[in-house]
């Protein structure tokens, strides 16, 4: 999803939470407002939780006698975290694409004589 702003094309930010019925939420703007800061904080918490869960996963999977309900719970939490991390990656990728030159806008390559060390 791309939106046109006064400065050119920019990506509408996919927020790290969903709306009613699980529908995606987007934010259009400069990325410096209150909602953007809240989204940054939510992403940070989600990434920290995923990192901590990976640490627990290593410990749990090496423990003898882990029960099926424990593994089910672990798999459920891993699935949730993977979904959150995927959403964050998708959001950041879209915003990065909006600021990078598109293939038709790419700067032509320089010849060898024009390249400086």
The predicted model scores a pTM of 0.72
Q: Looking only at Cα atoms, what is the longest distance across the chain?
A: 66
What span, in angstroms and rounded, lies between the C-alpha atoms of 44 and 64? 33
Residues 79-109 have pLDDT tens digits of 999 999 999 999 999 888 888 877 775 556 6
């Amino acid at each position: 999803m791309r939106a046109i702003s006064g400065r050119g094309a920019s990506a509408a930010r996919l927020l790290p939470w969903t709306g009613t019925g699980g529908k995606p939420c987007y934010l259009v703007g400069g990325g410096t407002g209150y909602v953007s800061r809240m989204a940054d904080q939510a992403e940070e918490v989600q990434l920290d939780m995923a990192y901590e869960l990976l640490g627990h996963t290593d410990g749990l999977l090496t423990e003898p006698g882990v029960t099926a309900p424990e593994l089910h719970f672990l798999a459920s939490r891993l699935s949730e975290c993977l979904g959150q991390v995927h959403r964050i990656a998708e959001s950041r990728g879209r915003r990065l694409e909006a600021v990078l030159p598109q293939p038709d806008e790419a700067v032509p390559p320089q010849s060898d004589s024009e390249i400086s060390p």
